[in-house]
Amino acid sequence: MSRRILVLAAVAQTLFVGALSVALVIPLGSAFFKHWGWLLGPGAWLLCAFGTALLLGLPRLRTLTGAVLAGIPSAIAVVAGEHTAGEVAAIILFACWCAWRAPLPIAALHS
C-alpha cells in the first residue's frame, strides 16, 4: 500500500468533490440538492474520481471501480440520514482502494 497515494487520493477527491459542490450549488441552489442530490451525487462522485485518477496517474477503470465500491457504504449512510458520515467514509475507502491498487515504484521492487 502506498501511503503517499493514500493521502494524495484523499486530498484530491475531497478537493474535487468540494469544488464541484460549490460550483453546482451557486447556480442551482441548495434546495436542488435536497430533492435531486440522490440522482446527481453518484455521477458527480465518479466524475471527481476520474479527475483524481488523471491527476495522480492512476489507472482510470480501476480507480472508477474503487469509487463505485466506496460509494456503496456511502449510499447506505445517506439513506440512513448520515450524509456527512457517508461522504467521509467514502473518501477514506476510496483513498485506501487507490493506495492498495497503486503500482509500486520500480525502486521499491528491488529493495
Whole-prediction pTM value?
0.84
- Give every CB contact of residue 16 below 8 A, 6+ residues apart in sequence: 47, 48, 51, 52
Query: Which class for 98: exposed (0-12), middle (13-18), buried (19 or more C-beta within 10 A)?
Result: buried
Mean pLDDT across 12-35: 91
Q: Are 86 and 76 in contact (CB under 8 A)?
A: yes
Helix and strand counts by DSSP (H, E) for the chain: 5, 0
Mean pLDDT of the chain: 89
Tens of pLDDT, residues 73-91: 989 998 898 888 999 999 9
What pLDDT was estimated at residue 105?
57
